[in-house]
Amino acid sequence: MMNHLQATTTLHNGVKMPWFGLGVFKVEEGDELENAVASAIKNGYRSIDTAAIYGNEAGVGNGIQQGLKQASLNREDLFVTSKVWNADLGYESTLAAYEASLSKLGLQYLDLYLIHWPVEGKFKEAWRALETLYKQGRVKAIGVSNFQIHHLEELMKDAEIKPMINQVEYHPRLTQLELRSFCKENGIQFEAWSPLMQGQLLDNPLLMEIAERYNKSVAQIILRWDLQNGVITIPKSTKEARIIANAEVFDFELSSDDMDRISGLNENLRVGPDPDNFDF
């Protein structure tokens, strides 16, 4: 049951992943980052999501060590995700990128490793590398990010192992219904990045009206909507008060009517790049 911050969902390979975590996109190395990660762990978060391209894996690693110490936890109590960047997609280069990420994070293994973007002609070789790492027991789960249905179909044509996760841009203005149901049919867990649409939804009148009724913030309403849709969510914040507030979404439930009204905000609108048309 999704009734507390450490609640987990079981991925198709049996690994348990928390429904809720901390994202660190665009947070630079330094004290602010380390404190954010440590305070998230101290305040009950068990999932941290980073990526090679964020350039902050070392700081995340430091924050993890501090947080584990402060909360008297073991590495096994945490779920840590990173992602391989486009320039490193390829069999050998992806294996090397994994080692580099581990070394920066100061960890022996990752819980989840993702292909960050579906670069045509490259992601299949990268996936083969992820399968190798997975079979060697070097990583607990493997998945993809920003993959559309046709990318997933292309990948699964030759894959031995199905992705466990697809992490995509997902919020009330981009509900990705077809992609979500495709992933569900294939046992691929859906995960949201940019769940708050980089703050662009916080003054939305409908969401404000719903928030007032539940005596919650707009952010909490959106994050609760993610969870009730069966979507893992990793809101980003560096401020301890916000980190704590974001996670206060396990003590109420949105009615199905309110869920539908929030989903009705969909305009297929992205704040991030289009996975079918990016040039990096």
Residue 114 lies in a domain: yes
Residue 271 lies in a domain: no
Segments of the chain with pLDDT less than 50: none
Residue 272 lies in a domain: no
pLDDT of residue 28: 81
CATH number of the CATH domain containing 22 = 3.20.20.100
- Distances in Å between the alpha carbon of 74 and those of 23, 70, 78, 108, 244? 20, 11, 8, 13, 21
Q: What are the tens digits of pLDDT across the range 37-89?
A: 999 999 999 999 999 999 999 999 999 999 999 999 999 999 999 999 999 99
Report how far residue 14's alpha carbon sits from residue 101's, in angstroms, rounded to the nearest whole number.
Answer: 24
Domain carrying residue 154 = 8-263
Residue 274 lies in a domain: no
Residue type, 138: R
Residue 175 lies in a domain: yes
Report how far residue 249's alpha carbon sits from residue 220's, in angstroms, rounded to the nearest whole number.
Answer: 6
Measured in degrees and rounded to the nearest 5, phi and psi for residue 23 equal: -100, 150
Residue 276 lies in a domain: no
91 Cβ neighbours under 8 A, 6+ residues apart: 125, 126, 128, 129
Residue 120 lies in a domain: yes
Report how far residue 143's alpha carbon sits from residue 156's, in angstroms, rounded to the nearest whole number.
Answer: 12
Going by the DSSP 8-state scheme, the letter that residue 160 receives in this structure is: S
Report how far residue 129's alpha carbon sits from residue 114's, in angstroms, rounded to the nearest whole number.
Answer: 11
Report how far residue 198's alpha carbon sits from residue 205's, in angstroms, rounded to the nearest whole number.
Answer: 17
pLDDT of residue 2: 80
CA-based nearest residue to 145, from 25, 9, 1, 58: 25
Report how far residue 5's alpha carbon sits from residue 232's, in angstroms, rounded to the nearest whole number.
Answer: 12
CA-based nearest residue to 226, from 210, 198, 250: 250
In 10 A of CB 119, how many CB atoms? 17
Number of separate domains in the chain:
1
Residue 270 lies in a domain: no
Reported residue count of the chain is 280
**Active site residues per annotation:** 54
